[in-house]
A and B are shown apart, each in its own frame.
Chain A
Amino acid sequence: MRIEQTTTADETIIRVEGDVDLYSSPELRKAVLKAVPKAATGVGIHLGSVSYMDSSGVATLVEGLRSAKEHGKTLTLVAPSNSVMKVLELARLDSIFAVRSD
């Protein structure tokens, strides 16, 4: 998994690439929970190049969403790949996230 972070005046974008699983999700969790309080209005997690996501990745997104709400920020999933949408749908969690295309 690779993570790149960019910050604009409005939003911090965390771009994720590769597999998000038990091995790699702690790194994503750290990045998300660090970015949320510092973001101007919110964080966008770009998931268009995520080839696989397990429940630890889903838990990371949920934790990020809760943190964003606590800090009065937004958390948006940007262009989630089919793999990401599939696991969110299986987990019945696809409707809790704000999602936008690229």
Chain B
Amino acid sequence: MGADDIRLQVSSDPCLLGVIRGVLQVWMEVLGLARGRRDEVVLAVDEACSNAIRHAYGGRTDESIDLVLSASTDWIEIAVSDQGTPCPSECSEYRPLVAPAPHEVVPGGLGVKLIYEVFDEVRFCPGTTSGNCVTMRLHRTAKHEVDGED
């Protein structure tokens, strides 16, 4: 963890997801990431937090979600952790996003896929008895930086 890291501890209440999204937007704007890329990162981190609320905490709103936001000149990294029920490893495995045939479309199951789609590196670390952590890293390239707000 670096001295410039930002740490957030937020209740597992879905009504606070908008607050997390707002903090992420401002943080990445300060870092100089382009709007389009910021929106994708916000979506993926929101999915990680939603998974903590829905799956690790079973919808309980009085638990906590911890976020650590880190950045260097080469990458940004966001870690989301909870103290809830460890998720089965198969739930966090990489599965590519593919366009389904119309009759095969089913609701749900998108969150983890979107996380892998947006970030360059994703590490899921479920605890043995409790807790989960997902660390998501985006490599910074010129196309990610502010280019007239795409």
Contact = CB atoms under 8 A, between A and B. Distances in A.
Interface of A: 19, 21-23, 52, 54-56, 58-60, 62-63, 65-66, 83, 86-87, 90-93, 95-96
B144 interface: no
6 contacts: A21-B50, A23-B15, A52-B42, A62-B106, A86-B40, A93-B105
Contact of A90 (B18, B54, B114): B114
Given A55-B108, A92-B98, 7 more contacts: A21-B14, A22-B53, A55-B110, A90-B97, A91-B110, A91-B113, A91-B114
A78 B47 CA distance: 25
Given A23-B18, A90-B114, A66 B107 contact: yes
Contacts of B40: 86, 90
Contacts of B50: 21-22, 54-56
Given A21-B17, A22-B50, A52-B21, A90 B107 contact: no
A92 B97 contact: yes
Interface in B86-141: 97-100, 102, 105-108, 110-111, 113-114, 117-118
A65 B47 contact: no
B interface, how many residues as a size bin? 20 to 34
Nearest to B96: A92
Interface in B12-64: 14-15, 17-18, 21, 36, 39-40, 42-43, 46-47, 50, 53-54
Contacts of A19: 18, 21
A37 B102 CA distance: 20
Contacts of A63: 107
A21 B111 contact: no
A92 B46 contact: no
Given A55-B110, A83-B39, A90-B40, A23 B99 contact: no
Most A CB contacts (10 A, CB to CB) among B14, B43, B97, B100 go to: B43
Nearest to B47: A55
A33 B7 CA distance: 39
B43 A87 contact: yes
